[in-house]
Amino acid sequence: MKKRLTLIALLALSWTTFEAQNLKFGKPTDEEMTMTVYQEDPDAVAVILCQLTNVSYTMDSYDFLVDYEVKTRIKILKEEGKKYANISIPYIFNSKENYSQETFENFKATAYNLENGKVKKTKIGQEKIHSERIDEYYMLAKIAIPQVQVGTVIEYEYKLHSNVYNHIYDWYASAEIPVAYANYRLDIPAVFLFNVGYSGLQQLQNTVTAGSLFYKIDGDKQKKCITNVYNCTGRNLKGLKKDDFVWNVRDYFTKITAELQRINLADGNSRDVKKTWEQIDEILFDHPDFGQHLYKHSKYREELAASGISEMTDLKEKVAATYKFLRQRLAWNGEYELTIKPASEIVKKGNGSNADLNMMLINMLGDVGVKAYPAVMSTRRHGRLPQTYPTLDKLNTFIVAVPYGSSWIYLDASSIDGYLNVLSANLYTEKARIIQKGKPSQWVDLQKIGNAQSQIAINATLSSNGEMKGELKTFYGGNAAANEREAFREAADSAAFIAEKASHNGIKITQCKMEGHRDFSPNVTEVIDFTKQGDTTDDHIYINPFIEIPITKNPFTEKERLLPVEFPYKENYNMTLLLTLPEGWQLEEKPENIRITAADKSVTGHLLYDTIDERTVSITCQFRLNNLCFEKEQYDMLRQLFEQFANRSKDMLVIKKK
């Protein structure tokens, strides 16, 4: 949903008349102070009443500078909205280069509260800012505005003075909470040709006009530079709340982006500065904390030589053995990074980021004779890569790719419950770039490898007192196996794991045999002896026969949804159940068979009942999730299908005494 802001198209846009907006800071209106509900979204915990951002260029004796002026007013409507008084603002402050720095200036904030009919102001300034370093390039300014309660109006403003003239921050018009009014004014000298565009689910009103920049250099006469002025306004933008079915809600916020393409020089020539992905590859290869480590030996070279792994002939077994060797010595510290720390430091600490461990794994694989390459990406939680321009800034990590015939084997040291080609859902990005020195890099879609497979076989008998007793065999593959391993790892012990499984499925477990729960392996298997109690009368038994079923509750309860629905991976669930009835009893009533199929077969499933003989009931349940992403136009279909399946998970068998 990307659009380009072009002069002709935007000048043709007409402005719609809206009610007057309070653009004056320092004095909230009576309506803003007394507001208890935002009419456009009565459930909102807070609302951004006004957000003004002005970005303009100036010039000093040496070069262009960029100034950001930001003003924001927020109304707190509910207790949960008080978190919006905690403000975090990133800014560039390169620890090694003076010419890549920004200063955070003139911050001031006020909390306005009504007390006995009068407005009480609580003010803070620059002295309350706490700055911390994010990485080598960025700092984070953190401020907590005091005296904030339900009903408070917050105002804050600041300036950012930047000597990084070739970089303009993305501007977000929408947010998790609704935005009543947002305006962005971007004034760029015509000497710079930026690719300015907008994306998102909600519309802005935009104009592009000509402007001027006046400047002097070293006491010369005042000079004039033509500028392009972009003015973008959003009104009554809906809040987009993050939930379990969207990877990164900011991917769908309405925003303006600006990427420098070309600089027009004074002599009439121009210089292209737009990066290609091939140029970004070379930057990564040359980086001292990335590419320069790719072809080194690992710190475990001698131990690997003694392990015998290099003598293995099966590539998958060799890769798996090397991965296990690494995980026995180093742990993931929970961080995703793109660049790495020195290997000696990681070995000494015994842990590192996924980048630290993945680089170590690439080196170790090289030591045992296996070629491996980094696949760089932006993780799902970090957000999608831009569609319109290459960028190094948006990359935030990499995984390991090993050539395997005409395909690839993928691994990641942070996917501690996974396997070969079984990664954490956060890493199943649609665009990862495998970079190889001396060879063309290639884009791969990691969404294609994610799959959760569950195969369940239940053989049970029903007694005349309504007790269902039997054996449950479950085979988990892919991400379903990873989920079981994660649940097992996070449980206090195996007894707690079994107890949780029994509680979740409404059964008593008398015996449980498990394989693969602690292993780096493709599958997990469980064999469980169980009992389940039904309801009885003198001549009837009522029982829900299901032990594990994929959908017991519909997660899609809203009638309408603005966001798309995004699942972590595809799913493939199959269950067969054979139930033997007690002698002298018969099936009086069975539920109707049901088949669920979306028009495009993105979701399919069935629940089928059959009687093999007078005393044996057969039930098969199948569910397939074949697509990961569903647009908002498909939401109603998805909601209805899940509702049907959830309702049928409560089916009861009615057994009658002869």
Of the pLDDT bands very low, low, confident and very high (cuts 50, 70, 90), residue 231 is very high
Q: pLDDT at position 264, please? A: 87
- Is 131 a residue whose pLDDT tops 50? yes
Residue 445 pLDDT: 97
Length of the chain: 658
pLDDT digits (tens, 9 = 90+) for 611-631: 999 899 999 999 999 999 999
Q: Is residue 250 domain-shared with residue 321, that is, in the same domain?
A: no
Sequence-separated (6 or more) residues with CB below 8 Å from residue 435: 281, 284, 285, 373, 374, 375, 376, 441
SS3 of residue 499 by DSSP: helix
119, 113 Cβ separation under 8 angstroms:
yes
Q: How many domains does the chain have?
A: 3
Q: Please work out, in degrees rounded to the nearest 5, the angle formed at the alpha carbon of residue 395 by the alpha carbons of 392 and 397.
A: 135
Query: Helix H segments across 308-409?
Result: 315-327, 343-349, 354-367
Radius of gyration from C-alpha coordinates of the chain: 30
Share of the chain above pLDDT 70, in %: 96
pLDDT tens digits, one per residue of 398-440: 999 999 999 999 999 999 999 999 999 999 999 999 999 889 9
d(CA 336, CA 355): 7
- Extract the tokens encoding 225: 């530079």
Q: Using a cut of 0.75, tell me whether the model's pTM lies above it.
A: yes
Average confidence (pLDDT) over 438-455: 96
Mean pLDDT of 505-523: 95
Q: Are residues 154 and 234 in the same domain?
A: yes
444 and 456 in a common domain: no
The band of 7, judged by pLDDT with boundaries at 50, 70 and 90, is very low
Which tens digits make up the pLDDT trace of 310-337? 999 999 999 999 999 999 999 999 999 9
Calpha distance 213→186 (Å, rounded): 13
Q: Are residues 237 and 292 in the same domain?
A: no
Give the angle 566-567-569 at the CA atoms, nearest 5°. Answer: 135
pLDDT digits (tens, 9 = 90+) for 276-289: 999 999 999 999 99
Residue 188 in tokens: 């760029």
Amino acid of residue 486: E
Q: Which of 250, 272, 294 is the last residue of a domain?
A: 272
Kindly compute the dihedral angle of the four CA atoms of residues 361, 365, 368, 370, in this order, to the nearest 10 degrees.
170
User: What are the C-alpha distances in Å from 448 to residues 428, 429, 624?
Assistant: 8, 9, 15
Structure confidence at residue 275 (pLDDT): 86
Q: What number is the average pLDDT over the span 356-383?
A: 97
pLDDT of residue 222 exceeding 80, the answer is: no
| Angle between helices 479-490 and 494-505 in degrees, nearest 10 | 120
Task: Tell whether the model's pLDDT for residue 1 goes beyond 80.
Answer: no
**Which residues are registered as beta bridge partners of 589?**
654
Same-domain check for residues 425 and 460? no
More confident residue, 17 or 419: 419
123 and 151: one domain?
Answer: yes
Q: Which of 272, 303, 336 is the last residue of a domain?
A: 272
Output the pLDDT for position 217. Answer: 64
- Among 423, 448, 473, where does a domain finish? 448
Strand ranges (E), 238-297: 255-264, 270-272
Whether residue 490 sits in one domain with residue 437: no
Q: Which domain holds residue 38?
A: 2-272
Q: Do residues 248 and 383 make contact, with C-beta atoms less than 8 angstroms apart?
A: yes
For residue 137, name the pLDDT band (cuts at 50, 70, 90). confident
Q: Give me the pLDDT at residue 219, please.
A: 62
Looking at the structure, do residues 22 and 105 belong to the same domain, yes or no?
Answer: yes
Grouping H, G, I as helix, E, B as strand and the rest as coil, residue 551 is coil
Mean model confidence pLDDT for the chain? 92
The tens digit of pLDDT for each residue in 52-102 reads: 999 999 887 668 899 999 999 999 999 999 999 999 999 988 877 767 889
- Tell whether 152 and 186 lie within a shared domain: yes
Alpha carbon of 400 to those of 263, 320, 341, 345, 440: distances in Å? 37, 12, 17, 21, 17
The CATH number given to whatever domain includes residue 472 is: 2.60.120.1130
pLDDT attached to residue 14: 29
Query: What is the pLDDT at residue 8?
Result: 28
Residue 10: is its pLDDT beyond 70? no
For range 38-45, the mean pLDDT: 95
Instruction: Say yes or no: 554 and 623 in one domain.
Output: yes
pLDDT tens digits along 163-192: 998 999 999 999 999 999 999 999 999 999
Distance CA 514, CA 517 (A): 7
Q: Could you tell me how far CA 156 lies from the centroid of its own chain?
A: 29
On whether both 103 and 184 belong to a single domain, the answer is yes
Q: Tell me, what CATH number does 394's domain have?
A: 3.10.620.30
pLDDT higher than 70, residue 9: no
Taking the C-alpha atoms of residue 430 and residue 385, their distance in angstroms, rounded to an integer, is 9
Please report, for the domain that includes residue 229, its CATH number: 2.60.40.3140
Instruction: Note the pLDDT of residue 454.
Output: 97
Q: Which pLDDT belongs to residue 388?
A: 81
Residue 622 burial by CB count (10 A; 0-12/13-18/19+): exposed, middle or buried? Answer: middle
Q: What is the mean pLDDT of residues 186-211?
A: 93
Amino acid 37: pLDDT: 96
- Phi and psi at 93, nearest 5°, equal -155, 85
Taking residues 461-466, report their average pLDDT.
Answer: 96
Mean pLDDT to the nearest integer, 122-138:
90
The verdict on 242 and 337 lying in the same domain is: no
Structural contact between residues 568 and 581, judged by C-beta atoms closer than 8 angstroms? no
Band of pLDDT at residue 216, cut at 50, 70 and 90: low
The answer to which of 14-23, 45-54, 319-328 has the lowest mean pLDDT is 14-23
pLDDT at 2 over 90: no
